[in-house]
Amino acid sequence: MCLLLLKGDTLHNHSHEHHHHHGEAQAHSHQAHLQKKFKFAVLITFCVFLGELIGGIWSGSLALLSDAAHVFSDVASLLISWLAIYLSTRPATSSRTYGYHRAEVFAAFVNGVSLIAISGWIFYKAYQRYMSPTEIKVTGMFIVACLGLVGNLLILWKLHGESHGNLNVRSAMLHVIGDTLSSVAVVIGGAIIFWTGWSPIDAILSFLIGGIILVGAVNVTREAVHILLENSPRNADADTVATHLRSLEPVKDVHDLHIWSLCSNYCALSAHVVVNENTTLASDRILEQINGELQTHFGISHTTLQLEQVACEQAGNLLCNAQHS
């Protein structure tokens, strides 16, 4: 529901209220279904962690122990993501007027930072192992890695299709994808050691695992920071949006424009819109047209727009440049 202001007059648009509540009900149902998937993922991941930890200690494989450390972080990340999904279903309050949408972004940030730290630990241990190779029990390493791979593939299958447009789920999926690739690398390493006896491949694969994890973690963390700093969505910077709005027949100018993301799939906008004095459209029709354009072209679903027949003192300033006092 949008608060619509026309210079000297306040109007409220209730035309989409039923659609809004229906959409909320669907979103809550989907979130509840997603929580069940995460419950399954946490259980399987914890079993994989125990198996790889025991197998890594018994076989002496650093690649397997590195994978176990990553899997342990998977358990934590999945729990954090699960909690964030639960919080995001809670309604807004008088003190948290946007609800808990940012919980998902914060969870993604925590997951990303933890992955960066884990990749650093893997690099360190891989360097130590490369400099001082040790004997590895290949059979145990191979069997445990295969079991871990099966578990990770089950989780990927369960969460498949859920990460699109959701940074929180994407960060959790990144943990699982990284661990799946790690399991593949350990299986390959076990086969190479078994057939050739060349044990340095264990450390080399650990470096590869760490690199894969690091790249994905940096991307997720950077995107989470982008949202937490309330930057404009990457597909909707202020200049582009303002230019598009000014091209509409009833719009003369746009100023005091703000665009931000509450989470990865929920964008908001506020702006002052100067109405063309020659327009014959009523204010509610102007708002309907503007909101339709913002939703269609930029995916912006939550707006607060002030319509002005006479430009206010902020006219000419596309952005608000207020400074900290």
Backbone angles phi, psi at 96, to 5 degrees: -125, 80
Radius of gyration from C-alpha coordinates of the chain: 26
Q: Which residue is associated with the tokens 């040790």? A: 134
Residue 14: pLDDT band (50, 70, 90) is: very low
The tokens for 188 are 């390959």
Q: Which of 1-10, 12-21, 88-97, 316-325 has the highest mean pLDDT?
A: 88-97
Which domains, and CATH codes, for the chain?
29-228 (1.20.1510.10), 232-308 (3.30.70.1350)
C-beta of residue 64 within 8 angstroms of C-beta of residue 205 = no
Report the mean per-residue pLDDT for the chain.
79
Helices and strands of the chain, counted as H and E runs: 8, 5
Q: Which of 17-26, 253-262, 303-312 has the highest mean pLDDT?
A: 253-262
C-beta of residue 227 within 8 angstroms of C-beta of residue 264 = yes
pTM of the model: 0.72
- Whether the per-residue pLDDT at 63 is higher than 70: the answer is no
- Whether the per-residue pLDDT at 23 is higher than 50: the answer is no
Helix, strand, coil percent content, the chain, rounded in steps of 5: 65, 15, 25
Interatomic CA distance for residues 227 and 102, integer angstroms: 9
Burial class (CB in 10 A: 0-12, 13-18, 19+), 76: middle
Q: Where are the beta strands (DSSP E) in the chain?
A: 2-6, 9-13, 251-263, 266-275, 300-308
| Sheet-wide strand order for 300-308 | 9-13, 2-6, 300-308, 266-275, 251-263
pLDDT tens digits along 286-322: 999 999 999 999 999 899 999 988 767 666 667 765 5
pLDDT tens digits along 87-136: 777 888 888 888 888 888 888 898 889 889 888 988 988 888 888 877 77
pLDDT tens digits along 145-166: 788 888 888 888 887 766 566 7
Q: What angle do CA 157, 160, 163 make, to 5 degrees?
A: 150
Residue 221: pLDDT band (50, 70, 90) is: very high
The residues with which 302 forms a beta bridge, in sequence order, are 268
Provide the pLDDT for residue 11. 36
The stretch 70-76 carries a mean pLDDT of 77
The stretch 228-239 carries a mean pLDDT of 89
